[in-house]
Amino acid sequence: GATRSFAQIIDSMVHPDHRRGLKRPGLFVETARRMLAETMGGGPEQDILIYGWPVPPAWRMGKTFLEYDFVRMESILARGVGGGGTDLPPGVELVPAFDDSVDALYARCSRDWGASVIRDAPYLNWRFADNPRHDYELLTLTNSDGSLGAYAVYRVSDWPLPASGLIMDWLVPSDAGDAAERMRDALLARGRASGAQHLLALFPEWTPWFARFQDWGFVCHPSDLLMSGRNVLPKHHMYWLRDNWWYQFAELDLA
């Protein structure tokens, strides 16, 4: 129930003259240890978890010297956009930014999660609407009473496959079947309109959406993306994170 910080390890590099491999720790390990000692801990301004998708050399170094641990190998859900129209379903529209109406939707959806990034307007607009590097499409569905019933964020990318339509973020109540189907159809329509060949989604395997999307024709593909983490609170051990932590492509820098 507390608000705390997770941090993603984005990148690391070491000059070739200072690389020592796995036999004994070198400059990289000493630098990382200093950084983690300063930034991780139980204090209110510290991170209780670091996470990322490390490349194999970084994973080996982190596992050996920095207490990195394994969360999961990611599975990617994918399906072709197929034939059909490009019009959005009734109630779904493209919006320029999020507003405070997202708060109630997040509160409803997050009841089923043990940990997640708080999806409020400041975060979502920083991550998507105001992003200086990429263009994202914000799709919202309005209920008959005027409240926000669902949203999804979409982007065309050549990662991890050429002409990928990435479902960057998906916030739909698990019991809102009609809203989910309309949002699915909206994403397929945007995929066709934007020239994407297929839609890709990332869901933790414990969520109902992992199975629901497969019922909708998405195929589960293995990947070489390894989610790793290091935590400082025993409650948030890797097994707990694997089965309780909600995250999407939105939480990773690669998309």
DSSP per-residue letters across 160-200:
SSTTEEEEEEEE--TT-HHHHHHHHHHHHHHHHHHT-SEEE
- DSSP state for residue 114 in the 8-state scheme: S
70-105 burial, b for 16+ CB within 10 Å, e for fewer? Answer: ebbebebbbbebeeeeeebbebbeeeeebeeebeeb
> What is the rounded average pLDDT of the residues 47-76?
93
pLDDT, position 22: 65
Round to whole Å and give the CA distance between 123 and 125.
6
pLDDT at 179 over 70: yes
More confident residue, 195 or 25: 195
Percent of the chain with pLDDT over 70: 99
Taking all residues of the chain, what is their mean pLDDT, rounded to a whole number?
94
142: amino acid identity, one letter: T
Residue 147 scores a pLDDT above 80: yes
Percentage of residues in the chain with pLDDT exceeding 90?
84
pLDDT reading at 44 higher than 90: no
Q: State the pLDDT confidence band at 21, using cuts at 50, 70 and 90.
A: low
pLDDT of residue 14: 83
What pLDDT does residue 148 have? 98
Residue 23 has pLDDT above 90, yes or no: no
Give the residue-averaged pLDDT of 228-248: 93
- pLDDT score recorded for residue 234: 87
Name the band, by pLDDT with cuts 50, 70 and 90, for residue 13: confident
The structure tokens listed for 77 are: 């859900």
With residue 61 as reference, give the H or E element that holds it: helix 56-65
pLDDT at res. 28: 85
Distance CA 37, CA 46 (A): 10
Tell the residue number behind the tokens 């994973």, with chain if given.
59
* Burial class of residue 246, CB neighbours in 10 A (0-12, 13-18, 19+): buried
pLDDT of residue 252: 92
User: Tokens 């934007």 — which residue?
Assistant: 194
Q: What is the pLDDT of residue 233?
A: 87
pLDDT band at 18 (very low <50, low <70, confident <90, very high): confident
pLDDT > 80? residue 20 = no
